[in-house]
Amino acid sequence: MAGKFEIVNPTALTDYLDRLETVSSEEVLRQAAVAGARVIHEEVKLRAPVGNAYERNGATHVPGTLKRSILIAYDDEESVKGHLAIYLVTWSKDAFYGRFVEFGTSHAPAAPFLRPGYEAKKRQAAAAVIEVIQKKAEEAARG
C-alpha cells in the first residue's frame, strides 16, 4: 500500500532533476569515455616497441615513431550521439606499420602491444569512466 507524500518545493525538485539530466549529456558521456581511453592509451604507449635507428634513401629514421604515433581518436561512425561515445586507441598514419608489429607478417612474428595494453588496463579504464560519471552526478546534486 502506497503512502502519501507532499512535495513542498516543486521548483527545487524540478531544478534538481534538470541538473541530474546533465549527467547523461553528450559532454559528460565523452568526458567519461576519454578518461577510460586515456588509461588504455598510456599503457599502450608504454608497451609499444621501439626499433633501432636506420638509414634509407639518404634519410635517417629515428626510433620511436610508433610509440609517438599512438593516439586517441573519436569514432564518429560507430558512436551514437547522446548515447554512445566510442574512442579508439590506435596509431597515426605515420606509423601505418603498427598493424604489422601487432599482428605479425609472413616475414616477422607478431609483437603485440595494443591488445595486451588493453587487457592489462581495462578494469582501471572502466573505473575511470565510472569516476567521471559519479563526480558529475555529485556536482549536479550539489547544484
> Model confidence over 99-131: pLDDT tens digits?
999 999 999 999 999 999 999 999 999 999 999
pTM here? 0.78
CA distance 93 to 99: 11
What is the secondary structure of 118-132 as a DSSP string? HHHHHHHHHHHHHHH
What is the Cα 122 distance to its own chain's centre?
10
Q: What is the per-residue pLDDT across 45-59, written as a single tens digit (0 to 9) for each?
A: 999 999 888 888 888
- Check if the beta carbon of residue 120 is closer than 8 Å to that of residue 43: yes
CA distance 27 to 85: 10
Domain boundaries, given as residue ranges, for the chain:
37-130
User: Residue 18: its pLDDT value, please?
Assistant: 66
Helix (H) or strand (E) holding 55: strand 54-56
Question: How many percent of the chain have pLDDT more than 70?
Answer: 85
C-alpha cell at 36: 577510460
Give the least confident one: 22-26, 33-37, 92-96: 22-26
Find where cell 616475414 sits: 107
